[in-house]
């Protein structure tokens, strides 16, 4: 008897699994038109000259974002903790699970069209309507491309390249995902650079969404995190009561939890800086997370500023 999914998360996970198997195993037969689309888009966007791209301020440090304003070209690159097939599935079906207004139609196992209305929530930029005809193809046993051809004016040509990397310890798969996009109209010199950069970053957000959704950092770093947690517990309260004892005696008594005089000095200096922000001192910095408070201040005579932040962490 089949066990039905109880939550949206379980339903999405089951959908991911079934689509990953289909993409990985089912043989595909391509029409002449589909082959043309793949060939032309790979020729156009498959070998971008990186030296002409300028870095953007990425919204995620794990995602490299760049653009060539003169060509209306954007590119984002990251490494995802998932197989090529799972990354491809997420890329092709992600819009079915987010808040965008989407209509998606599949023509066969490897070709589909979808239309989307996207509000980037940037002042001066109205919601945009996009439509693409997309085709995916395995280039070899390890690597895949998904080619998006614009179907309505204003949409961009997109090439998503998925390259298999060696797995991490424990067999966790790794895939390099490169998202390259070029607008039909090229550069728009009427848009201020600051606004154009923000819009470019917003268009590359699907990479950040994929990275977050398929992230396995907890599994990858679990043992190391537990080891560090136990080490911190071993340095319990009272371990810094060293008055009247030599460092050699303390080291023998305390083992790895021993703090040298140099280490204690570092702690004392840090606490002294912490006291600078007691009370109402410092300028409050506005943050999007209501559980986090931050301040900055500058000591008289210093050329650099000091920062302070506090938050509430919900963890075991």
pLDDT digits (tens, 9 = 90+) for 166-185: 999 888 999 999 999 998 65
Any domain includes 196 = yes
- Token pair in block for residue 226: 């537990």
Q: Is 18 helix (H, G, I), strand (E, B) or coil?
A: helix
Contacts of 108 by beta carbon, 8 Å cutoff, 6+ apart = 28
Whole-angstrom Cα distance, residue 302 to residue 103?
Answer: 57
Is residue 184 within 8 A of residue 153, CB to CB? The reply is yes
Whole-angstrom Cα distance, residue 216 to residue 79?
Answer: 12
Other C-beta atoms lying within 10 Å of the C-beta of residue 180: 22
Any domain includes 79 = yes
Any domain includes 268 = no
pLDDT of residue 45 exceeding 90: yes
C-alpha radius of gyration, the chain, whole number: 26
Any domain includes 245 = no
Whole-angstrom Cα distance, residue 41 to residue 78?
Answer: 21
The whole-number average pLDDT for the span 49-78 is: 89
What dihedral angle (degrees, nearest 10) is formed by the CA atoms of 21, 22, 25, 30?
-160
Closest by CA to 178, choosing from 73, 35, 105, is 73
Per the prediction, the chain carries an average pLDDT of 77
Confidence bin at 258 (pLDDT 50/70/90): low
Is residue 182 within 8 A of residue 43, CB to CB? The reply is no
| C-alpha distance from residue 48 to each of 38, 69, 147, 182, 282 (Å) | 16, 13, 15, 11, 47
pLDDT of residue 291 exceeding 60: yes
| Domain limits for position 37 | 8-218
Query: For residue 126, what is the domain's CATH number?
Result: 3.30.530.20
| Predicted pLDDT of residue 229 | 77
Any domain includes 279 = no
What dihedral angle (degrees, nearest 10) is formed by the CA atoms of 84, 89, 92, 93?
-160
Length of the chain as a residue count: 316
Confidence bin at 18 (pLDDT 50/70/90): low
Confidence bin at 1 (pLDDT 50/70/90): very low
Q: How many domains does the chain have?
A: 1
Any domain includes 250 = no
Confidence bin at 143 (pLDDT 50/70/90): very high
The whole-number average pLDDT for the span 277-288 is: 74
| Predicted pLDDT of residue 38 | 94
Confidence bin at 274 (pLDDT 50/70/90): confident
Any domain includes 191 = yes
The whole-number average pLDDT for the span 185-198 is: 68
> pTM of the prediction?
0.68
The whole-number average pLDDT for the span 34-59 is: 90
Any domain includes 179 = yes
Whole-angstrom Cα distance, residue 39 to residue 261?
Answer: 66
Closest by CA to 16, choosing from 60, 100, 80, is 80
Whole-angstrom Cα distance, residue 130 to residue 265?
Answer: 59
């Amino acid at each position: 008897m089949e066990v039905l999914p109880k939550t949206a998360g379980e339903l999405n996970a089951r959908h991911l699994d079934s689509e990953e198997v289909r993409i990985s195993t089912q043989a595909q037969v391509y029409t002449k038109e589909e082959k043309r689309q793949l060939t032309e888009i790979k020729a156009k966007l498959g070998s971008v000259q990186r030296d002409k791209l300028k870095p953007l301020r990425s919204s995620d440090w794990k995602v490299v974002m760049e653009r060539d304003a003169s060509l209306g070209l954007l590119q984002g690159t990251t490494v995802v903790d998932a197989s090529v097939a799972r990354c491809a599935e997420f890329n092709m079906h992600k819009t079915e699970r987010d808040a965008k207004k989407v209509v998606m139609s599949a023509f066969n196992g490897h070709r589909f069209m979808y239309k989307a209305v996207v509000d980037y929530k940037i002042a001066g930029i109205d919601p945009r309507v996009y439509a693409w005809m997309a085709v995916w193809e395995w280039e070899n046993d390890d690597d895949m491309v998904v080619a998006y051809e614009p179907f309505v004016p204003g949409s961009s040509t997109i090439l998503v390249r998925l390259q298999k990397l060696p797995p991490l310890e424990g067999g966790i798969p790794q895939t390099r995902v490169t998202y390259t996009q070029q607008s039909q109209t090229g550069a728009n010199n009427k848009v201020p650079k600051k606004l154009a950069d923000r819009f470019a970053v917003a268009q590359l957000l699907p990479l950040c969404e994929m990275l977050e959704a398929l992230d396995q950092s907890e599994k990858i770093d679990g043992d190391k995190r537990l080891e560090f947690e136990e080490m911190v517990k071993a340095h319990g309260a009272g371990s810094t009561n060293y008055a009247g004892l030599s460092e050699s005696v303390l080291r023998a008594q305390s083992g790895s939890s021993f703090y040298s005089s140099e280490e204690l000095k570092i702690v004392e200096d840090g606490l002294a800086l912490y006291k600078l922000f007691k009370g109402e001192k410092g300028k409050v910095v506005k943050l999007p997370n209501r559980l986090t408070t931050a301040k900055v201040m500058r000591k008289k005579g210093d050329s650099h500023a000091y920062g302070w932040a506090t938050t509430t962490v919900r963890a075991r």
